[in-house]
Amino acid sequence: MNVHTVLQHAAMASLTCTGPRTIGPDQKPMRAEKPPSQQIEQSGLVEPVDSALSQLSITMPTKRISSVDILPSIGPDLNDINASIVKREIEKECKRSVRHQLDLIKERQQKAISERLASQRNTELQKQRHINSRTRREESDKLIEKQAEQLAKVELEAHQREQKALLKQNNQKLHLLIVEGVSRCHRRFCSKYELVTKLFLALDKETVQACAAQNSELRELAQLFDQLVEKLKKGGSDPPELSCVFTAEQYCQRLDKLEENLHKQLSEQHQQQLDKAKKLAEEQEKQRQAEAEEQQKQQALKEQQLAAERKATAEAAATAAQAAPNTEAPATSAPAQAPAPATATAPTQASISTSYVHPTRLAFYNEIIALYQSKVDAVKPLQTDETWKKYRTNCQRTINLPLNAITATSAQHLKNNFDKLYNFFAGQPVRTTDGSTITINDHPLARDYCILLMAKKFVSQTDTAISSNPQAAFPFASVIVTFWKLLPDFGKIFLAYMYKESPYLVPYVIPQQPDQTPEQYLKTMGYRITENNQLEKPDMFLKRQTGIARLYAAVIITPGRQADGPYNCFGLEEAWGWLTHIMQLKPLPDICATMIMEMLQTLGFELWHAYGMNFVKLLLYIQNIYMPQLSAYDEGGPKTRLEMLLSKFLRERQIPQAMGVLPPGFW
């Protein structure tokens, strides 16, 4: 407690006092000693306040007033006054402290309440935000789900449309493949059917009756195939089944088996006829020998009789001479009997071994070469007549110019060059480069001369265009096939030139004659001799033979002009026959492997589709049987390339179609 304040209160209290002053500046201090009990009592008055203050946890700056410091007075007890003052001060201070504490407590309570309310508001706000966020998220999820459903629906519809379009496209492709497969089988069937029909027409009535079962089956197969083709032509909404191709293949196989059985039966009948003919010939030979022996006996008897007559005549003449010795006997000369002329039999030509050529191919080769030689001999008067030299030159130019321009650039380009050639052979006038006009009818031998000239020119393209560009063979082949249909002699003359350049196309391994030199023999086998009498190099020979084989193969598989029909005069069966025949011949190094490889590369795709597993068996035969035979004679590059090619074909189970093949109906 502040002393100054206490003193002020004491001064105020002294004004009310009636006794003498005990304090003041002019009074001396009076010190009164009090007993210890009073000090204790006084101290006891203060302790409750201190204890109260201590209980209220109020710290106040207090200063104890001892009894020594209080001056004795006559009025009210100073200690009581001090105690009351202190007590009031303490009470005020306690009240202030209590109020302050209460205010603090109230403030803390208010703050706590505010914080709690704020926390509740924040909690509610967060909860509301969470609810709003969840609501927005749910709405967003629903919107996303709706958009996803719409997008999925759109994608599903697009996918379904794509699937339908793809299914339609696949059905169309499948339909085209099925139609193409049946078409190939139909062409093969028609070709085989025509051959079998021709075979039946060539038979006599008795043989046809013996083959009535095969004839009936042939008609049945034709009707079944026609029904299958009609079913494909009618079509419908649904694509044809793939089984149609297998059915067509079965019909072709049945026809092949029918032909095989027919040939077998005909061979048996032919063998029986041969046996009968042989027996009949033996009987006739025995009868002839018996007749000859009888004639010899009669001749000997006649000679004996004649000798007896001559002997009797001689005896009669001798008797007459003895009877009339002076008479000159007439000179009798017995007619000398002319000896019987010896029947000289022309020696038969030695048959060529089948290791060089098959008999049927040799007969065909001889027929072609004979026709060619007859044409060459026939046009010699025109070819050697100098007065027709200019006409021959103009014919050559008329043929060479459009023939050299033949390419597959476009159908119209090919048609224009063909028309120029065909119009000349049809007799139409053609203006030459020198301004004159010629026709093929200007000379009676001009047609054969121009056929020979054009066939030779086509074959010469193998040296220039085809050997360096394999695709160029197909437009030339298309024109050749068309001319073959229109001028049958042209096709045979063309084959003759091909066989002269490459007898391996027959196939024919011409044997060397005893009087031939190696150069002469190689010339007959297709080698060329230069003007300097030098032999053609092997690599150039193989390159030229490759070009010839390409053109030959292209003629087999290339259709001609559409207007002249689909029939091919030199069909795929020629390629099959060539492959089967060359397997039977004695292999030659390099050239055999080169020709077989070129044929397979150009014709393999068509042969595989036409003959199926039979062609695969042929490839296996070449790989497993023919190649070991070829290895005994050939170890060069062509044989190695052929081995690799066969392995590739058999491993991939397919042969790609040759590049540049003209599609059906190209022009």
pLDDT in tens, 166-177: 888 888 888 788
- CA–CA separation, 215 and 208 (whole Å): 8
The candidate with the shortest Cα–Cα distance to 75, out of 8, 11, 4, is 11
The pLDDT value recorded for residue 43 is 43
Does the pLDDT value for residue 156 go beyond 80? yes
Position 257 confidence tier, pLDDT thresholds 50, 70, 90: confident
Q: 145 vs 347, which has greater pLDDT?
A: 145
Does the pLDDT value for residue 437 go beyond 70? yes
The pLDDT value recorded for residue 388 is 93
The pLDDT value recorded for residue 75 is 55
Share of the chain above pLDDT 70, in %: 76
Residues contacting residue 122 through CB under 8 Å, at least 6 positions apart: none
> Token pair for residue 64?
């104890």
Q: Which range, of 273-287, 392-406, 592-606, 627-641, averages the lowest pLDDT?
A: 273-287
The pLDDT value recorded for residue 493 is 95
Cα distances (angstroms) measured from residue 587 to each of 382, 412, 539, 577, 644: 42, 44, 18, 17, 18
pLDDT in tens, 294-322: 777 777 776 676 666 666 555 554 444 44
The pLDDT value recorded for residue 278 is 66
Residue 550 CB-density burial (10 A; 0-12 exposed, 13-18 middle, 19+ buried): buried
Does the pLDDT value for residue 55 go beyond 50? no
Neighbours of 572 (CB within 10 A): 20
Q: 473 vs 98, which has greater pLDDT?
A: 473
Residues contacting residue 53 through CB under 8 Å, at least 6 positions apart: 59, 60, 90, 94
Q: Which range, of 65-69, 124-128, 207-211, 589-593, averages the lowest pLDDT?
A: 65-69
Contact 605, 658 (CB under 8 A): yes
Position 234 confidence tier, pLDDT thresholds 50, 70, 90: confident
Position 601 confidence tier, pLDDT thresholds 50, 70, 90: very high
> Token pair for residue 526?
């297709």
Q: State phi, psi for 54 to the nearest 5 degrees.
A: -70, -35
Mean residue pLDDT of the chain comes to 79
The pLDDT value recorded for residue 338 is 33
> Token pair for residue 128?
């509301």
**Top-ranked range on mean pLDDT: pick from 7-11, 62-66, 333-337, 419-423:** 419-423
Does the pLDDT value for residue 333 go beyond 50? no
Domain ranges of the chain: 3-76, 359-652
- CA–CA separation, 144 and 508 (whole Å): 82
pLDDT in tens, 1-29: 466 677 766 666 665 555 555 555 555 55
Contact 261, 214 (CB under 8 A): yes
pLDDT in tens, 528-555: 887 777 888 888 999 999 999 999 999 9
Residue 437, beta-bridge partner list = 431
Does the pLDDT value for residue 345 go beyond 90? no
What is the mean predicted confidence (pLDDT) over 598-622? 93
Residue 42 CB-density burial (10 A; 0-12 exposed, 13-18 middle, 19+ buried): buried
pLDDT in tens, 68-85: 444 444 555 677 777 888
- CA–CA separation, 443 and 424 (whole Å): 13
Alpha-carbon torsion (550, 552, 555, 558), positive or negative: negative
> Token pair for residue 298?
């009669």
Position 658 confidence tier, pLDDT thresholds 50, 70, 90: very high
Position 327 confidence tier, pLDDT thresholds 50, 70, 90: very low
Contact 174, 239 (CB under 8 A): yes
What is the mean predicted confidence (pLDDT) over 345-364? 67
What is the mean predicted confidence (pLDDT) over 589-609? 93
The pLDDT value recorded for residue 328 is 36
Does the pLDDT value for residue 479 go beyond 90? yes
- CA–CA separation, 78 and 97 (whole Å): 27
Q: Which range, of 119-133, 389-403, 414-428, 449-463, averages the lowest pLDDT?
A: 119-133
Does the pLDDT value for residue 189 go beyond 70? yes
Does the pLDDT value for residue 447 go beyond 50? yes
Q: Which CATH architecture best describes the domain 359-652?
A: Alpha Horseshoe (1.25)
Alpha-carbon torsion (196, 201, 202, 207), positive or negative: positive
Please give the angle made by the CA atoms of 43, 45 and 51, to the nearest 5 degrees.
95
The pLDDT value recorded for residue 240 is 64
The pLDDT value recorded for residue 281 is 63
- CA–CA separation, 623 and 597 (whole Å): 12
Position 614 confidence tier, pLDDT thresholds 50, 70, 90: very high
**Top-ranked range on mean pLDDT: pick from 6-10, 222-226, 250-254, 581-585:** 581-585
The pLDDT value recorded for residue 166 is 86
> Token pair for residue 46?
């203060």
Position 59 confidence tier, pLDDT thresholds 50, 70, 90: very low
Residues contacting residue 305 through CB under 8 Å, at least 6 positions apart: none
Contact 185, 252 (CB under 8 A): yes
**Top-ranked range on mean pLDDT: pick from 164-173, 283-292, 616-625:** 616-625
Position 342 confidence tier, pLDDT thresholds 50, 70, 90: very low
Q: 44 vs 96, which has greater pLDDT?
A: 96
